Amino acid sequence: MSMNTQGRPTRIEHDIDPGGYETLSGSRGLDQAEPLLFERGSLEVTGVDLPTPKGGLNRLGTMKREGPIGLPGLAEPEAMRHYVRLSRKNYAIDLGLYPLGSCTMKHNPRLNEKMARLPGFADIHPLQPEKTVQGAYKLIEELARWLMVLTNTPAVAMSPKAGAHGELCGMMAIRAALDARGETGRRRVLVPESAHGTNPATAVQCGFFTDEIPADKTGRVDMEAFKAKLGDDVAGIMLTNPNTCGLFERDIKEIADLIHEAGGYFYCDGANFNAIVGRVRPGDLGIDAMHINLHKTFSTPHGGGGPGSGPTVFSEALAPFAPLPFIVKTADGAQLKMAENDGDADGEARPFGRLTAFHGQMGMFTRALTYMMSHGADGLKQASEDAVLNANYILARLKDVMTPAFDGTCMHEALFDDRFLKDTGVTTLDFAKAMIDEGYHPMTMYFPLVVHGAMLIEPTETESKSGLDRFCDVLLGLAAAAAAGDADRFRAAPVHAPMRRLDETRAARQPVLRWTPPVAEAAE
Ligand SMILES: *Cc1c(COP(=O)(O)O)cnc(C)c1O
């Protein structure tokens, strides 16, 4: 296999390339081979042509650079082409359906981008005098107000910068509340086995330990097992609703009551809020804290490293422990509290501290509020309903060929297991790789862990019926090919992608993050 200097396979092998030969350039049509910037450029040349400064006084003293800077020199068009070529290897929500379950990869309206780029929002700095950023504060308060209205909760911390960060925020508030009650022995957190990995990770990070609740036959919390786990060492439960199997936890009110009776708190993972906005208010279901992934539910961009935004709402019981700055509901809207007991006459606030230096992700706030206001209350509700309708359409079209993990309808995502691939020699991973050859980003695979060979498909509300039909036709075609014994095609896939199967485990365990000049040439 052809490898670059970093030991990465760079090309499709010609014997499996349907083109039948290896191209001289390594490019395949418009899919152009692209080496690293360091391999393309040269350390000896520079892309800029500035005269050496004459007679300047060097004030760097011992800090003066002695060797060359070690960056590759490229002319502007070469640098530009490098990044454009890389961008063309990316799959993006603006390119095609992105059916990753649990991730809610929905369209990011351009209106959001336009608003976020207004200089009054985009070009301000958190250290500016407060009186010059009142508009930004108003925007944060307005967004906070909508989040409190949609969830029916009295307080929200806007600063968490992602869902996982919001979980940290909520669990730290729970810990602070328990400590304030003097109950330092409550350290057990109940987590359903279908939970997202960030839930147990967060609990442990906050000094709790987790205790797993099994799922019942329908894919929901096993209520008998849950009741058996309640006790006076229980700090709370972390539950996602709809859960990661795409199912509504019907017993959620009873779960909330029982956890409260046992003296614990209810952390709700709100990553799947997109399925219920405008239909259900989590505050009415008895939650004490819940993060909202603005980058999922409210259409702000994500993937490729963010930035995300994970505002966390609180119940009456936990509101006093919310981190600074936090926002509370007032008679005429919402008010940003910047300091402990800031305007709090009865001195109830006992914030656990700060999570970030400033207020959170201003750009995400602007996008999310734009999305809310452009949809209106009825539009937000319809978006949730359409997301659920789309997922059920996929479930209905595929369920006789692929095997749904659970009976009945689903919420915003449809979950299949790998029973339909039994005895075909094709695995969930092979199936997903074959989708890449068909031009589709694969669905979420092998998650949730409770389902064997899981395939979790979330179309979101932004896909049209014809788009969903094309997608379903491809999946049905692939399932038929697997059933017909065409396993080789699946094992070879992808053959049309810039890269074939990479050693993903090695890439994760031993990432090569630094370029080193080829040793042999350097020695010559
Ligand atoms: C996405 C997700 C998270 C984590 O959110 P991030 O913003 O990626 O940190 C947590 N739980 C569930 C169920 C999710 O889907």
Residue nearest to atom 3 of ligand 1 (CA): 163
Residues 6+ apart with CB under 8 A from 519: none
Task: Judge whether 433 and 494 are in contact, CB under 8 Å.
Answer: yes
| Positive or negative torsion for Cα 390, 396, 397, 398 | positive
The pLDDT tens digits for 49-105 are 888 878 777 888 889 888 888 888 999 999 999 999 998 888 899 999 999 999 999
- How many angstroms separate the CA atoms of 156 and 158, rounded? 6
Residue type, 81: R
Listed ranges 12-26, 217-231, 345-359; the one with the highest mean pLDDT: 217-231
Q: Tokens 């209350």 — which residue?
A: 377
CATH number of 376-497: 3.90.1150.10
Listed ranges 56-70, 128-142, 170-184, 492-506; the one with the highest mean pLDDT: 170-184
What residues are in contact with ligand 1 under a 6 Å CB criterion? 102-103, 162-164, 196, 198, 240, 244, 269, 271, 293, 308, 310
Residues 6+ apart with CB under 8 A from 466: none
Task: Judge whether 418 and 452 are in contact, CB under 8 Å.
Answer: yes
> Rounded to an integer, what is the distance from CA 2 to the centroid of its chain?
34
The pLDDT tens digits for 139-173 are 999 999 999 999 999 999 999 999 999 999 999 99
The pLDDT tens digits for 289-307 are 999 999 999 999 887 666 8
For 126, the token pair is: 């958190």
Task: Judge whether 46 and 73 are in contact, CB under 8 Å.
Answer: yes
**What are the backbone angles phi and psi of residue 155, rounded to the nearest 5°?**
-150, 155
Hey, which of 293, 297, 361, 411 would you mutate to test ligand 1's pocket, going by the most ligand atoms within 8 Å of its Cβ?
293
Top-tier CATH class for 111-369: alpha beta
Residues 6+ apart with CB under 8 A from 478: 431, 434, 435, 438
- How many angstroms separate the CA atoms of 158 and 141, rounded? 9
As a whole number, the mean pLDDT across the chain is: 90
414-417 and 209-213 as β-strands: parallel, antiparallel, unpaired?
unpaired
Gap from CA of 336 to ligand 1 centroid (Å): 26
Hey, which of 98, 193, 196, 199 would you mutate to test ligand 1's pocket, going by the most ligand atoms within 8 Å of its Cβ?
196
Hey, which of 159, 198, 276, 415 would you mutate to test ligand 1's pocket, going by the most ligand atoms within 8 Å of its Cβ?
198
Q: Provide Rg for the chain, Cα atoms.
A: 26
- How many angstroms separate the CA atoms of 257 and 284, rounded? 12
| Least confident interval from 101-105, 232-236, 262-266, 340-344 | 340-344
pLDDT given at position 454: 97
The stretch 500-524 carries a mean pLDDT of 78
Residues 6+ apart with CB under 8 A from 251: 220, 221, 223
Task: Judge whether 303 and 110 are in contact, CB under 8 Å.
Answer: no
Spell out the alpha helix ranges (H) of 438-523: 465-483, 487-492, 504-509, 519-523
Residues 6+ apart with CB under 8 A from 302: 103, 105, 293, 295, 296, 308
Gap from CA of 163 to ligand 1 centroid (Å): 5
Q: Label residue 480 by pLDDT band (50, 70, 90).
A: very high
Residue nearest to atom 5 of ligand 1 (CA): 163
Q: Label residue 10 by pLDDT band (50, 70, 90).
A: very low
Tell me which DSSP letter residue 175 carries. H
Gap from CA of 164 to ligand 1 centroid (Å): 6
- How many angstroms separate the CA atoms of 253 and 3, rounded? 56
The stretch 310-323 carries a mean pLDDT of 96
pLDDT at 244 over 90: yes
The pLDDT tens digits for 50-62 are 888 787 778 888 8
Q: Label residue 4 by pLDDT band (50, 70, 90).
A: very low
The pLDDT tens digits for 423-449 are 999 999 999 999 999 999 999 999 999
Model's pTM, two decimal places?
Answer: 0.90
Gap from CA of 282 to ligand 1 centroid (Å): 17
Angle subtended by helix axes 465-483 and 362-398, to nearest 10: 50
For 381, the token pair is: 């509700």
- How many angstroms separate the CA atoms of 107 and 374, rounded? 14
- How many angstroms separate the CA atoms of 28 and 91, rounded? 18
**What are the backbone angles phi and psi of residue 177, rounded to the nearest 5°?**
-65, -40
Q: Which atom of ligand 1 is nearest to the CA of 308?
A: 7
Q: Residues in the chain, how many?
A: 524
For 103, the token pair is: 């991730």
pLDDT given at position 14: 47
pLDDT at 399 over 60: yes
Provide the residue ranges of all domains of the chain, joining segments of one domain with +.
111-369, 376-497
Gap from CA of 197 to ligand 1 centroid (Å): 9
Of the CA atoms within 13 Å of residue 3, those in its CB half-sphere come to 8
Task: Work out the burial of residue 492: count CB atoms within 10 Å of its CB; fewer than 13 is exposed, 13-18 middle, 19 or more buried.
Answer: middle
Gap from CA of 366 to ligand 1 centroid (Å): 21
Tell me which DSSP letter residue 73 carries. B
pLDDT given at position 348: 74
- How many angstroms separate the CA atoms of 207 and 200, rounded? 11
- How many angstroms separate the CA atoms of 184 and 174, rounded? 11
Residue nearest to atom 2 of ligand 1 (CA): 271
Which three-class secondary structure state does DSSP give residue 10?
coil
pLDDT given at position 247: 97
Q: Which of 471, 306, 485 is nearest to 395 (CA)?
A: 471
Which three-class secondary structure state does DSSP give residue 211?
strand
Q: Tokens 């957190």 — which residue?
A: 189
Task: Judge whether 239 and 268 are in contact, CB under 8 Å.
Answer: yes
DSSP string, 337-381: E-STTTT-TT-------BSSSSS--HHHHHHHHHHHHHHHHHHHH
Gap from CA of 224 to ligand 1 centroid (Å): 27
Task: Work out the burial of residue 23: count CB atoms within 10 Å of its CB; fewer than 13 is exposed, 13-18 middle, 19 or more buried.
Answer: middle
pLDDT at 6 over 50: no
Gap from CA of 107 to ligand 1 centroid (Å): 18
pLDDT given at position 344: 56
pLDDT given at position 335: 81
**What are the backbone angles phi and psi of residue 466, rounded to the nearest 5°?**
-65, -35
- How many angstroms separate the CA atoms of 309 and 442, rounded? 25
